[in-house]
Amino acid sequence: MFKINENYLKLPGSYLFSAIGKKVNAYSAAHPDKKIIRLGIGDVTQPLAPAIIEALHGAVDEMGKAETFRGYAPDLGYEFLRNAIAENDYRARGCDIHADEIFVSDGAKCDAGNIQEIFSLDNRIAVCDPVYPVYVDSNVMAGRTGTYDNIAETWSNVIYMPCTEENDFAPEFPKETPDLIYLCFPNNPTGAAITRQRLQEWVDYANRVGAVIIYDAAYEAYISEEKIPHSIYECEGAKACAIELRSFSKNAGFTGVRLGFTVVPKELRCGDVSLHALWARRHGTKYNGAPYLVQRAGEAVYSEAGRIQLKEQVAYYMNNARYIYDGLKEAGYTVSGGVNAPYIWLKAPCGMTSWEFFDCLLEQVNVVGTPGSGFGPSGETYFRLTAFGSYENTVEAMERIKGLEL
Amino acid sequence: MFKINENYLKLPGSYLFSAIGKKVNAYSAAHPDKKIIRLGIGDVTQPLAPAIIEALHGAVDEMGKAETFRGYAPDLGYEFLRNAIAENDYRARGCDIHADEIFVSDGAKCDAGNIQEIFSLDNRIAVCDPVYPVYVDSNVMAGRTGTYDNIAETWSNVIYMPCTEENDFAPEFPKETPDLIYLCFPNNPTGAAITRQRLQEWVDYANRVGAVIIYDAAYEAYISEEKIPHSIYECEGAKACAIELRSFSKNAGFTGVRLGFTVVPKELRCGDVSLHALWARRHGTKYNGAPYLVQRAGEAVYSEAGRIQLKEQVAYYMNNARYIYDGLKEAGYTVSGGVNAPYIWLKAPCGMTSWEFFDCLLEQVNVVGTPGSGFGPSGETYFRLTAFGSYENTVEAMERIKGLEL
């Protein structure tokens, strides 16, 4: 008789954003007349930039002709895209990353969930708390996290690194030694960034204790301060200890287009085993490449026109971020983030829990945010708003929040 | 100190098609003047049908406008596509499968590789031998297959079900009881099909012993005989024991577009746990949906124009299949497949091994096929040719093969 993977049953509740979606849909069904403004899930709202639309149309036409039709993509992705990434995201910033160390995928979420597969089941993970739920959940599914404590809302075998006001939302080195360290900067959900100097300390720490850093840089396009690194490979020694995840979702509005990539440097080894070879094997065996169309769209992100248009798009969202940040400050909220990231992190008012404030905002003013507790125990009493709405909706949402009767 | 997933190191050699690719590239680099004809990897060559191109252009335009832009897709896929699948692939064939039992993905290879995750690590798998390598390899990576015997080229904890001339390439019930049974019909690589009556016996067997059948129906569009089922859900009781994998790669030429789906019926349970809920959880946590563009392209597959155009495309490839089949017969080869599948399965001549014949074809006549041994020990001395080339290339390849000096 077949049996299931019991680890799945340990997962408490459903995936955070599915849970929010269900709650919003239920409210919406009960109140069809209400206009709900969604600043919850980090989903973009601006249309694809003209340079990307043009590249997509061109690639569609190629697929319609026998001479230019493309079937299966190369395992690691098309060279035209990997070269553009290596040149623009790495060499232009002084990072010595080569095209053949880049694995093109259908998004950073998949890579973030799948990367743990190439590591031993008895490796111990460390995560920031609060944090994007995929890191922990994918390790729960694999059986790496021990047992769940319903009261503390923590896993017995996960090292939590609290990120709170006290440490300016930047984690300290953990007391216990981890094997895998998930770092995400600029951070989801807190919007906090890490300085180059502090990230260098993390790289040195990982190399010293023999840990791998899985560095999620999905929000790097939103960095506005010079002291903040865009890639972990700006730090010396990172190629010996770090894997970097990148996404096109937020810098180019690809949440519905699906494109990302993972960098596994060839120097990164465990004894004589290359992690690059392991990830290549996973890619070759369990994945079949991102669509040709989408890879051409990714290439257009790096074109001259694409870069100008996307800089404007990022500026548009960051203008929203400032608007939210300033508005909340004015209204007396405790607020952070929003300077190097499209997320604003605020303290729920009046001693409310995260979900209480979620319900309050949804029911009283029809604004959807994300409860901080969904990202980990240290997120309790916090709340995330995103800058990814339209400017008009952002302004209206802030009017509503300011008028909230608490 | 971090450790790697040691199971990866157990995998012998590289993924079959990567290995072939490397060999062909090396030959090609050494002989740049030779025109190589590829009938190896099952990659399509005909351009996307006009109805699909039109749908793609339309969806690209939508993504360029704020009012019609789409971000993250719904977890299971867009309803417009899931409804079209439920209606056309299932209800039209009398299968009671609902849209919310369909999980849209970026291809059957990913689903075939990932589906094992929702099962216990001590489940025992049974596979046809020879078989598409992803089923076994993904279970090796998970640690479910025991140790590898280099001589026999088998795994100690895998139940092999030989498919040879003796049993007309259809597996018999195994002596040991499996937990998970991978069946692929029409078969890759042998091109053999299974009758509805025989598949019903498999469904009854699975229900009796408490096994789950993972049914890969990626080639169902190539079925030409009435007695051959297109879906396992044509069999009574299949909803209680079977998961079905489907692909748009071969019926619509989507190898470079990436779209597939998996059906997990709500009836399929392990005690009180619904496998549908487990797969939904995996989808929600480690996947982020197929691109909107691609899902619209998938919808067009079911449009009136799309159906007519794709019927022609399948007929084009099946004409190649017949050409290869007849040509090999004439030339004295022992050959099967090609009637309900785009694959032709032949016995390597003159007592050659699979790879010997591969090298012989590549070097003497510059034709690439796939060595049968790459699909399992019972594939040794066999060879696969695909009908997915152009007609002109297929004709030329057959001329060359007929002229081979053995």
Minimal Cα distance from B272: which residue of A? A4
Cβ separation A141–B282 shorter than 8 A: yes
- pLDDT for A14: 67
Interface test with B, best of A207, A264, A286 (most B CBs within 10 A): A286
Please list every residue in chain B whose beta carbon sits closer than 8 Å to the beta carbon of residue A137. 285
- Supply the angle between the helices A304-330 and A391-402 in degrees, to the nearest 10: 10
Rounded to a whole number, what is the largest CA-CA distance in chain A?
A: 65
Please list every residue in chain B whose beta carbon sits closer than 8 Å to the beta carbon of residue A180. 2
pLDDT at B11 over 70: yes
Distance from CA of B147 to the nearest CA of A (A): 17
C-alpha B86/C-alpha B102 separation (Å) is 8
Interface test with B, best of A7, A16, A61, A72 (most B CBs within 10 A): A72
3 state DSSP class of A202? helix
- Supply the angle between the helices B292-301 and A292-301 in degrees, to the nearest 10: 150
> ipTM for the complex?
0.96
- pLDDT for B393: 96
Minimal Cα distance from B50: which residue of A? A64
Cβ separation A71–B43 shorter than 8 A: yes
Strand order in the sheet with B158-162: B102-105, B260-263, B242-247, B212-216, B180-184, B125-129, B158-162
Minimal Cα distance from B274: which residue of A? A4
Residue type, B113: G
Please list every residue in chain A whose beta carbon sits closer than 8 Å to the beta carbon of residue B106. 106, 258, 288, 291
Minimal Cα distance from A49: which residue of B? B64
Residue A16 confidence class, pLDDT cut points 50, 70, 90? confident
Distance from CA of A316 to the nearest CA of B (A): 14
- Supply the angle between the helices A304-330 and A292-301 in degrees, to the nearest 10: 70
Residue type, A404: L
- pLDDT for B102: 98
Distance from CA of B382 to the nearest CA of A (A): 22
- Supply the angle between the helices B50-63 and A50-63 in degrees, to the nearest 10: 180
Cβ separation B257–A113 shorter than 8 A: no
Tokens of A189: 């959900």
Cα–Cα distance list, B101 to B89, B105, B201, B239, B291 (Å)? 13, 13, 24, 10, 20
Please list every residue in chain B whose beta carbon sits closer than 8 Å to the beta carbon of residue A75. 18
- pLDDT for A308: 98
pLDDT digits (tens, 9 = 90+) for A73-116: 998 999 999 999 999 999 999 999 999 999 999 999 999 999 99
Mean pLDDT of A115-119: 98
pLDDT digits (tens, 9 = 90+) for A317-330: 999 999 999 999 99
C-alpha A167/C-alpha B380 separation (Å) is 63
Please list every residue in chain A whose beta carbon sits closer than 8 Å to the beta carbon of residue B212. 2
φ/ψ of residue B111, rounded to 5: -65, -40
Cβ separation A123–B293 shorter than 8 A: no
pLDDT digits (tens, 9 = 90+) for A157-184: 999 999 999 999 999 999 999 999 999 9
pLDDT digits (tens, 9 = 90+) for A270-317: 999 999 999 999 999 999 999 999 999 999 999 999 999 999 999 999
- pLDDT for A367: 97
Cβ separation B120–A6 shorter than 8 A: yes
Residue B119 DSSP class: B
C-alpha B310/C-alpha B297 separation (Å) is 13
Find the CB nearest A120 among B5, B121, B281.
Answer: B5
- pLDDT for A405: 83
Q: Flag the least confident range among A40-44, A196-200, A226-230.
A: A40-44
- pLDDT for B162: 96
Mean pLDDT of A237-256: 98
Mean pLDDT of A357-374: 95
Please list every residue in chain B whose beta carbon sits closer than 8 Å to the beta carbon of residue A14. 281, 284
Mean pLDDT of chain B: 96
C-alpha A70/C-alpha A297 separation (Å) is 15
pLDDT at B14 over 70: no
pLDDT digits (tens, 9 = 90+) for B258-278: 999 999 999 999 999 999 999
